[in-house]
Amino acid sequence: MRLSFPAWVWLVAGAGLLAIGYQKIETLSHSDLSDPLLYIVEHDAARRDHLSSDYLPRIRTSEGDNSEGNAETIAMNSDILEFDAASNFSEGLAVVRIKDRYAFIDRTGRVVLQTDETLDGVAPFVESRALVRTADLYGFIDREGNIVIDPQYASANPFSEGRAVVRTGRAYGYLNPDGTLAIDPQYTLATDFSEGRAAAKLTNLYGYLAPDGAWIIPPQFADAWSFSEALAVVKAGEKWGYINPQGNIAIAPQFDGAFSFSEGRGRVRQGSQWGFIDQQGKPIVPIQYDFASDFSEGLAAVLVGSQWGYVDHAGQMAIAPQFELASDFSEGLAAVRQNGKMGFIDRTGRIIIAAQFENVGSFREGLAWVQMGDKWRYVDRNGAFLKQQQPGNL
């Protein structure tokens, strides 16, 4: 099955971070990719008792310059919160690993939910449910840490539009938030709901389901992706095109690769070259780049030779190719790599947080995780590290 991700997706997998270049990834099941995609930080769960001192976040105290908040390399600072792994913020909380256990922190760095050592995986909250794993089985907890859906599924996705894809044995179905089955497992493969529809494969063909399990678009496509901006990628023969919500062809299959629309632009591939079309199928950004990402906040990363830059909606080069790696913009900043290190730029291409990190996440809710050596921290948009809150500031 082919799954769609942002062009450069940061995947937390154990202690490392990987960058995936291509958006279409062949896999036999969702579970093959569930760990990194969900920022499952090996171990986790659902207890509300207070953390013991053994599992409090590590605080690093260092000598020297305490300056923060500029584009120069950020100096070590006392009371900076450090973790053994971290995820993006979602719904006000982020998953972190503290030694060999996991917890949820809020945006002040305060531990608000401890996890159970019997769980070996946890994902951020989505629609007030967090996916958890134990002994290779998946379930869900609520925001109080209660297990609301027992780990019992061979694979699972986070909730989307009130439904979660789960796999029992070799068949896929959908759950309600209370754990009851919304759609019985019966599909060869299934994707998340998006814009009221979900692509599902029955035997050898894909169609689109309604939330009650009825076919809105009967199975007829060799491959199919989720709807985005009222268009969905489908495969007919050896070519890719787009359908509308009624299942009619909106842009004829003609591309060697096609990807979900974002900000009114669809990323397409002919041969080894990439560009963008509008919702009528008209080329807007010439198909001439060695690779490209989807548009985000008005810009899309493009690869020219061995360097990455950014184009705008009209196809004009907005930030000249100069980076070893470039990611999507989020909250006004994008991660880039220079001289083997990661930092952040603004929409003009100006370095805002100097390239100094081994790996980084995207800004979410005002913070991004960064990896320095074998420790993980959070930075704000000014480059200041998240610190331990003093008692008077709590």
Is 31 a residue whose pLDDT tops 50? no
Cα angle for residues 34, 36, 40 (degrees, 5° grid): 80
What is the CB neighbour count within 10 angstroms for residue 222?
Answer: 16
pLDDT band at 117 (very low <50, low <70, confident <90, very high): confident
The mean per-residue pLDDT over the stretch 234-251 comes to 98
Question: Who has greater pLDDT, 60 or 142?
Answer: 142
Question: Quick one: pLDDT at residue 393?
Answer: 56
Q: What is the mean pLDDT of the chain?
A: 83
Is 77 a residue whose pLDDT tops 90? no
Q: Give me 221's structure tokens.
A: 């496509």
Question: Who has greater pLDDT, 278 or 61?
Answer: 278
Q: Give me 187's structure tokens.
A: 């599909």
Question: Quick one: pLDDT at residue 51?
Answer: 24
Question: Quick one: pLDDT at residue 57?
Answer: 36
Q: Give me 123's structure tokens.
A: 């994902």
The mean per-residue pLDDT over the stretch 115-124 comes to 90
Question: 53 by DSSP, 3-state: which?
Answer: helix
Question: Quick one: pLDDT at residue 111?
Answer: 96
Q: Which residue has the tokens 């969702």?
A: 30
Question: Quick one: pLDDT at residue 236?
Answer: 96
DSSP letter (8 states) at residue 391:
G
Q: d(Cα 339, Cα 347) in Å, to the nearest integer?
A: 20
The secondary structure element, H or E, covering residue 32 is helix 31-37
Q: Give me 9's structure tokens.
A: 């997706």
pLDDT band at 109 (very low <50, low <70, confident <90, very high): very high
Q: What percent of the chain has pLDDT over 70?
A: 79
Q: What is the pLDDT of residues 156-200, one digit of tens each?
A: 999 999 999 999 999 999 999 999 999 999 999 999 999 999 999
Question: Quick one: pLDDT at residue 72?
Answer: 37
Question: Quick one: pLDDT at residue 392?
Answer: 55
Q: What is the pLDDT of residues 88-107, one digit of tens each?
A: 999 999 999 998 888 999 99
Q: What is the pLDDT of residues 191-235, one digit of tens each?
A: 999 999 999 999 999 999 999 999 999 999 999 999 999 999 999
Q: What is the pLDDT of residues 288-306, one digit of tens each?
A: 999 999 999 999 999 999 9
Is 270 a residue whose pLDDT tops 80? yes
Lowest mean pLDDT among 64-78, 205-219, 246-260: 64-78
pLDDT band at 119 (very low <50, low <70, confident <90, very high): confident
Q: d(Cα 31, Cα 192) in Å, to the nearest integer?
A: 14
Is 16 a residue whose pLDDT tops 60? no
Taking CB atoms within 8 Å and a gap of at least 24, the contacts of 79-82 are 79/387, 79/388, 80/377, 80/385, 80/386, 80/387, 80/388, 81/57, 81/109, 81/377, 81/378, 81/385, 81/386, 81/387, 81/388, 82/57, 82/58, 82/375, 82/376, 82/377
Question: Quick one: pLDDT at residue 116?
Answer: 86
pLDDT band at 61 (very low <50, low <70, confident <90, very high): very low
First to last CA, the chain: 47
The mean per-residue pLDDT over the stretch 122-131 comes to 97
Is 114 a residue whose pLDDT tops 80? yes
Question: Quick one: pLDDT at residue 78?
Answer: 64
DSSP letter (8 states) at residue 290:
S
> 3-state DSSP: the chain helix, strand, coil percent, rounded to 5?
5, 55, 40
Whether residue 206 contacts residue 199, with contact meaning beta carbons closer than 8 Å, is answered with yes
